[in-house]
Structures are given as structure tokens and as C-alpha cells.
Structure 1
Amino acid sequence: MNVKIAQVAKQLPKYSCTTEEILPLLNVWLEGQEPRFVKKITKLFEGAAVNKRYSIMNPLEVFKATSFEEKNNIYCREVILLGEQVLSKALAKANWSPHSLDYIITVSCTGVMIPSLDAYLINKMNLRQDIVRLPVTEMGCVAGISGLIYAKNFLEANPGKRAALITVEAPTATFQLDDFSMANMVSAAIFGDGAACCLLSSH
């Protein structure tokens, strides 16, 4: 069975910040750390080759000491919005109706949602109640590829079907102000928030 990608779309959050705008916030955050360490992290951000970072919250909020619960609440609210926007955009580009989807895969590892994102999208976008659901979490950077493999396997086994893979990540929601490890620094320097959707078909 031949499985094809029918359409792709992306959706960026409303907030963005250039590296030049982030550096003053970085200096405030790292105040009290050793000067050599501050200089090292500044060079890390400057050399990351990321000119603009998008986020689900105002950059000032990212550097505030909000609790996990507060940031996760923002995550839940914003990923539903991004997921709906990116799926709607992809469906419009493919000229598919929401009701024509047979399989929905949602991917995210930067927040906690119960029920998962797919359940919200089913209700908000009037998807079929018998649509096959698969939430993919805690898989990190390989999750999107894993989602494509799951969709491909489903479609190969089911001719004439359609699948939507929606990935939404918001690492600003998991940014830890009290973590000065290099892993947290590199993550903050290179990752941004956003969503993508891939529509696949075995028609």
C-alpha cells in the first residue's frame, strides 16, 4: 500500500524574541554566577545560530519564578490553540474536511495534559468520535519521526484512510530558573516553541 504525505503546515506562537533582546534577560537571570560562566553562556546564546525564538508566553514571563503548575497551565491552554490552528491550516491546504480523518496522532513532551491534546482537538474541531487516537509523549526529539512511522504503519494496514500527525512543543514551559547545568543552557539556547502538522493518506 502506497502511503503519501498530502500536506504539511506549521504554526508559530504569538510571542517572539531576538537573541539581542534575550541577552539582557539572560544577564539578569545569571546575576550572581561566576563571570566566566556568564560569559560562556552568553557566547553559547550568541553562537547558537538562532536569530529569533518563538514562545507561548511573554519572554519576561519565561524568566519569572513561576511554579510548575502555573507554567503547565499556560502550556495546556496554548498547545490546544496551536494544535487547532495548525490542524485547521493543514486541512484547508489539503481541502480535507475534519470529519474525513480516520487517525490522529499528537506529539508533545514539554507539558502534562490529561486528557491528551487529541481529545481536545476532537471536540473543538468536530472530528469523528470513532477516530483512532494515539498520543505520543516523553520521546523527545525523535517523537515526530516516531509519529510518522505510526501513521505510515496504520495507513499501510488500512487502505483508503487519512491520518493527521500534530506535533506541539513548548520548551519555554519547562525552562528551569534554578538549573544552571549545561543541558538546561543548551536547551534554552537552541529550542523554541511551535507546532507542525503532517497529513498522510493511503488513498
Structure 2
Amino acid sequence: MPRKSRLSVALLSLATAVPPHILVQEEAKAIARALFGGRTRLFDQMEPVFDNAGIARRHIVKPTDWYHGDHGWKARNQVYLEAAETLYVDAAQKALDRAGIAAADVDCLVTVSTTGIATPSLEARVAGRIGFRDDAERVPLFGLGCAGGVSGLATAARLAATGQGRIVLFVALELCSTSIRLDKLSKANIVATALFGDGAAAAVLRSGGGGLATIEGGGEILWPDTLGIMGWDVEDPGLGVIFDRAIPPFVEENMAMAVERILDRLGLDREEIDRFTCHPGGAKVIAALETSLALPEGTLDHERAVLRDFGNMSAPTVLFVLERLLEAGMSERTLLLALGPGFTVAGLSLVRP
């Protein structure tokens, strides 16, 4: 893999947002048991997933009664659009305010979301409400799944680096609960019901160093013949989750070598990374990351805390972890990591200014 020159892009601000409705894990388990109906044998086998997920609560876009209903594609996507616009504005405005940047000063808008269809895309739908310029470049990214928080932020950084003083607003937003399927009993659907929540994160970037951290660049590794590990099936009445139980052992076996390749592309050695900051896909995935990266058990403490408090929100989740790391005091250099459909890993290096 050829090495490339490192970027110098400032992360000026980072903000997160969640919808108002809170679902505690015991309630989620009870709802799932009730709504999967009389098909209890498989649910009985899979019920420990709720207890062992490392999740105490999650935020969801609708009251729990909504999930008892029979919703088709149109109804699900309408909920997605309405809630996504609200969350986008919330996260984006917080990030802009923290950076001291006016919406009219943003040159480029990068948006990651894979849990609904928005055409026109989300940043276009809220442009008038927030006050974006009519000539701001728009870059909506779809299909990245859980890796989108890292790969999308890397894309935003590369776009910021194309001009002196260029400002980019990055938003990662996923409403996983709108795709929870209780009409079809499967292991993947039970796991999804136990894990997924909703949330958004936003960051303001500007070419040059400084800010909360300086983004140096990143890379991605796509493993061949792994399309069936993670993703969506397009079905009626909604998206059907693809979730292979082999994810934790796959991570344990392959992550270390993938990280070495990403670091080599950046011209960095493993010893130069002071902390790995990872997408917490689930309790077993976190443990597999620690094993593969030869980290002492419990090292990924912020990851476990975010998983406990918010569940797996897909793309924005790793940015919730980064937010906690920044609040606690970021070490000299951290490597953001997230796994997603493909099957792929995305990495991004940040250094303390």
C-alpha cells in the first residue's frame, strides 16, 4: 500500500444529539418478547443477548407504542425523515456554536446516513432552517453503516484540506430503531432489537492545525468475499438487518493486521498510537478489539460507557466515544476505528494540537 502525505486539518468542534425517548434494556427485552408473539423457542435461546449486551438504555425516535404497530416502507421512512431533520439541526447547530462558526461560513456539507432514504438529502432539507449558503458543496454518503463515522469524517477532512481556511461541516446520523423488525423472527432481528439505538454527531473542520485535535488522515481495508457479514436486505415492510455471529471472531483474527496496514499508509508505527478509539459495536466486539490489538482488558472504557448509555447507534457512535475522550483529555495521538458493511474497517489518526 503506497504511503501518502499526512493532512493538517483542525477539528474545531464536536457535538452529539439524541432523540427524547429513552428505552431501558429490561423494557426492550419485554417488548421484544411480547411482540415476537408465540414464537418463543428461538427467543428463549437468544434472550441472554439482551442481558449480555452491555447496554443499560438507549434513545429512540418514537414512544415504545409505535414499535407495536405494523409499519411499511413509507411510514418508516416518513418517521426517519421527520426525526432526522430535527436531529441534524440539533447536532449541527451545537457544533457550529461551539466552533464559533456561522452556518453561512460553511463551504462544504458532508452527511452520513444509511437508515433511511432522503432525496433531496438531509442537508438540503434543513439548509434554509440553519442558514447554509446556496453555493455550499453537498456530499451525502450512503451505505457506510457503522464505519461511516470514521470514513465520513476522513472524507470531510480531505475536502477541508483542498483549500486554505476551507470549512466543512460533517454530520453522521442514524435512526436504527425505525428499521427494527418485529414481524420476522430471526437471530439477526433479535440481536438488532437488543443493540440498536438512535443518535447523531456533528463536527466542524477547517484546513490547518489547532482546534480540539488535528486530523492527519486515514485509510480503509475491505476484506474480499465478506458481503454477508453486515448490512441491510431490502425487504417488505422495511430494511432487514444482516448480522453475522462470526463478527467478533473475525475481528479478533483480522483487526491487528488491518490496523498495521492503515498505519503503514500513514507512515506511522504502532508505538506512536497512544490510544485506539473504537466504534463499540457490542460487548463481544469490544472484547475482540482488545484481544486483537493486544490491549489490556478494560482499556476501551469510554467505548463500554457509550455502549451502556446509548447502545449501538451505528455511524455516530464512535464520535460519542471521541467526545468523551476529548472531555477526559486526549492523549498525544489516537486512532479512530470503526467496522462496517463491506466487510470493512476505517481508521483515522488525530493528534493533540
Same fold flag (TM > 0.5) = yes
**Could you tell me which amino acid in structure 2 is paired with residue 163 of structure 1?**
V
Count of matched residue positions in the alignment of Structure 1 and Structure 2: 202
% of aligned pairs identical? 27
CA distance in 2, matches of 1:54, 1:41: 22
Report SS of the residue matched to 2:32.
Answer: helix
Tell me the residue number matched to 1:129: 134
Scaled by the length of structure 2, the TM-score of the pair is 0.55
Match of 1:71 among 52, 71, 76: 76
Report SS of the residue matched to 2:84.
Answer: helix
Shift of 1:63: 3.0
Q: Spell out the pairing of 1:42-57 with structure 2 (5 A cutoff).
A: 42-57=47-62
Report SS of the residue matched to 2:158.
Answer: helix
Matched, 1:62 2:58: no
Scaled by the length of structure 1, the TM-score of the pair is 0.94
CA distance in 1, matches of 2:68, 2:10: 42
**Could you tell me which amino acid in structure 2 is paired with residue 151 of structure 1?**
A
Shift of 1:51: 0.5
CA distance in 2, matches of 1:163, 1:83: 15
Matched, 1:109 2:114: yes
CA distance in 2, matches of 1:139, 1:127: 25
CA distance in 1, matches of 2:43, 2:159: 49
**Could you tell me which amino acid in structure 1 is paired with residue 71 of structure 2?**
T
Shift of 1:133: 0.4
**Could you tell me which amino acid in structure 2 is paired with residue 89 of structure 1?**
K
Question: Which structure dedicates a bigger proportion of its chain to helix?
Answer: 1
CA distance in 2, matches of 1:138, 1:84: 22
**Could you tell me which amino acid in structure 2 is paired with residue 182 of structure 1?**
K
**Could you tell me which amino acid in structure 2 is paired with residue 9 of structure 1?**
A
Matched, 1:24 2:59: no
**Could you tell me which amino acid in structure 2 is paired with residue 90 of structure 1?**
A
- Describe the superposition over 1:13-71 as per-residue Cα deviations: whole angstroms up to 9, x where unpaired: 01111012222212211221143x22223211111111001111112212321222111
Matched, 1:181 2:186: yes
Question: Which structure dedicates a bigger proportion of its chain to strand?
Answer: 2
Where does structure 1 lack aligned partners over 5 or more consecutive residues?
A: none
Tell me the residue number matched to 2:154: 149
Match of 1:82 among 80, 87, 91: 87
Tell me the residue number matched to 1:120: 125
CA distance in 2, matches of 1:77, 1:42: 32
Tell me the residue number matched to 2:43: 38
CA distance in 1, matches of 2:48, 2:65: 21
Report SS of the residue matched to 1:88.
Answer: helix
- Describe the superposition over 1:59-96 as per-residue Cα deviations: whole angstroms up to 9, x where unpaired: 22123212221111111001000000111111111111
Shift of 1:12: 0.6
Contact 1:16 1:59 in 2 (8 A): no
Tell me the residue number matched to 1:140: 145
Shift of 1:184: 2.0
CA distance in 2, matches of 1:148, 1:71: 27
Per the alignment, do residues 155 and 146 of structure 1 end up closer, same or farther by CA in structure 2, a change over 3 Å counting?
Answer: same
Report SS of the residue matched to 2:126.
Answer: helix
Where does structure 2 lack aligned partners over 5 or more consecutive residues?
A: 1-6, 209-353
Shift of 1:164: 0.7
Shift of 1:194: 0.6
CA distance in 2, matches of 1:30, 1:151: 41
Matched, 1:169 2:207: no
Contact 2:182 2:189 in 1 (8 A): no
Contact 1:72 1:112 in 2 (8 A): yes
Shift of 1:179: 2.4
Report SS of the residue matched to 1:202.
Answer: strand
Contact 2:109 2:139 in 1 (8 A): yes
CA distance in 2, matches of 1:116, 1:55: 22
**Could you tell me which amino acid in structure 2 is paired with residue 162 of structure 1?**
I
